[in-house]
Each structure stands twice: as structure tokens, then as C-alpha cells.
Amino acid sequence: AVLFLPKAFAQGGLAFATAGMIIVCYVSIVGMLALLSCIETMHLRASKAPTLVPQSHSFGDIAAHAFGPLGRTAINVSLVLSQLGFCCAYLIFISGVGQRLIESYSSCAVQMPLWQLIVVQL
């Protein structure tokens, strides 16, 4: 995401992009504090009934404590899907950069398709 910031500032303008960054930062901090509050609540409950609260504190454990087994499954599935999305975006981004690099620095007239550059990374 950091590599896209200069383009975001160029397209959004200095004031709008700065305000957007501040809003995203605030929302991220609120989310982190909410997770810390959940863990603190789990610790308090663990001191009263240690067998009811797991000792590990993964996102799935917090969701299971709050919403039951369905919550754990929903969080774990969403984490897997988001990581898969990040990996796919990385492969496509690096392939696009590689394609532009090959086009600009080689005297080769052959155009290398994007899908071939993605396969090379695998």
C-alpha cells in the first residue's frame, strides 16, 4: 500500500489525501484499541474462570469467545481470504512492474504477456 501513496496524493490532492490518511489512521487505532480491550476482558474473565478462556489470543480465539464457534470460523475464513487477496495483488503488481521494466530496458521486440510474468514468480 505504501508504494501507491505518491499516486494517491497526486490524484487526490494534498488536502484530501492528508485528511483521508488521518481518517484511516484514526479508524485503525480505534480497531486496535478495541482488540486490546477484548483481550483485557478475556484476561479478567480468565482470572475468574481460567478453564473457560483460552490462553492464546488469536483473532479466531477472540471471535470464538465473543460469538462462539461460528464467529471463529467466520474470522478465520475472512483472514484466509484477505491473505489470499494480498498475495494475488502482490503477484499482479510485481508482474506489472516487471513487464514495464522489460519493455523499457530491453531492446527485444517480443512483448511478454502479464500472465507469463505471474507464472515466472510461482
77-114, pLDDT tens digit by residue? Answer: 999 999 999 988 888 888 888 777 877 887 776 677 77
DSSP state of 53: S
CA 43, CA 37: separation in Å to the nearest integer? 10
Residue spans of the domains in the chain: they are 1-53, 69-122
pTM tops 0.85, yes or no: no
103 sits in which H/E element: helix 69-105
Check pLDDT > 80 for residue 122. no
